[in-house]
Amino acid sequence: MNIDTSVLSNVNGGGSSGMPASQSAELRESFMTLLITQLENQDPMNPMENAEMTSQLAQINTVSGIEELNDTLSGITKQMDASQMLQASGLIGNAVLVPGNQVKVNTDEDGNSYATPFGIELDKPADNVEITVTSNAGEVVYTKNIEGVSAGVESFSWGGLNNDGAAVAEGSYNVSFKATNAEGEALESKALNYALVQGVTPAESGEEVRLDLGAIYGQVTLDQVKQIL
């Protein structure tokens, strides 16, 4: 007995539209009924070859195995989404460092300036890191050199003062880094800025759980969070 390829495709849930598991199961049962009927009514002088029957049974087992695998993968995906959602929800209200180069300067009730933390991510340790803070107009308001910065993520704080010790105006500033090794060669680095996790957006089809950081910073995924402050 030969199986039409379109039937096998339907049993496998193939095609552009796919097939519900219940219909696929019905097709498998129908196929097995046909196979048994064929065996019962086959020509004794020309019986079905063992190899042919084994091959067709194997195809049915493969289809069942694929469906079971798909069900397993679907369950694993749901568990991962739930785990990510739980992990992300635990970050609500926490401050984090995420890719970005913004620094916010504010003034407290006593008139003292303070700035949000910022950070750097290095693939290799740096012998020297030069920090430069500029205004949105491009004016340099603060610089500092730090020696011996390890690979990975390092966070820094700035008091909102310029190099003369005077408070800078409230507002948004940009931070940049120049990392070098002992030979003075530039190293790759990424700037990180402070943000507050305000909410969580559940994962949708083909996407990941996302952290809501507000209108200014938008959304990030969990793997974009470099440090929890």
CA–CA gap between residue 225 and residue 221 (Å, rounded): 7
Chain-wide mean pLDDT for the chain?
A: 79
- Of residues 13 and 154, which shows the higher confidence score? 154
pTM: 0.64
Phi and psi dihedrals of 14, rounded to 5?
Answer: -75, -175
Average pLDDT over residues 145-158: 95
pLDDT at 16 over 60: no
CA distance 177 to 131: 5
The half-sphere exposure of 90 on its side-chain side, counting CA atoms within 13 A, is: 8
Number of continuous H segments (helices) and E segments (strands) in the chain: 4, 14
Determine the pLDDT at residue 3. Answer: 44
Largest CA distance in the chain: 104
Instruction: Look at residue 7 in the predicted model and tell me its pLDDT.
Output: 45
In this prediction, residue 49 has a pLDDT band, given cuts at 50, 70 and 90, of low
% of the chain exceeding 90 in pLDDT: 49
105 forms beta bridges with 115, 171
User: Can you give the pLDDT at residue 84?
Assistant: 74
> Which one has a higher pLDDT value, 143 or 3?
143
Sheet strand arrangement including 199-201: 199-201, 210-212, 219-221
- Average pLDDT (21-46) is 63
E strand or H helix that includes residue 34: helix 21-40
**Per-residue confidence (pLDDT) for residue 133, from 0 to 100:** 97
Condensed to tens digits (0 to 9), the pLDDT of residues 100-151 reads: 999 999 988 888 888 999 999 999 999 999 999 999 999 999 999 999 999 9
Residue 63 — pLDDT band, cuts 50, 70, 90?
low
Question: Over the stretch 165-218, which tens digit does the pLDDT of each residue have?
Answer: 999 999 999 999 999 999 999 999 999 999 999 999 887 766 788 899 998 889
Cβ neighbours of 130 (radius 10 Å): 14
The percent of residues in the chain predicted with pLDDT above 70, rounded, is 64
pLDDT band at 82 (very low <50, low <70, confident <90, very high): low
DSSP state of 167: B
Per-residue pLDDT, 17: 45
Give the pLDDT confidence score for residue 87 in this predicted structure. Answer: 82
* Whole-number pLDDT of residue 68: 62
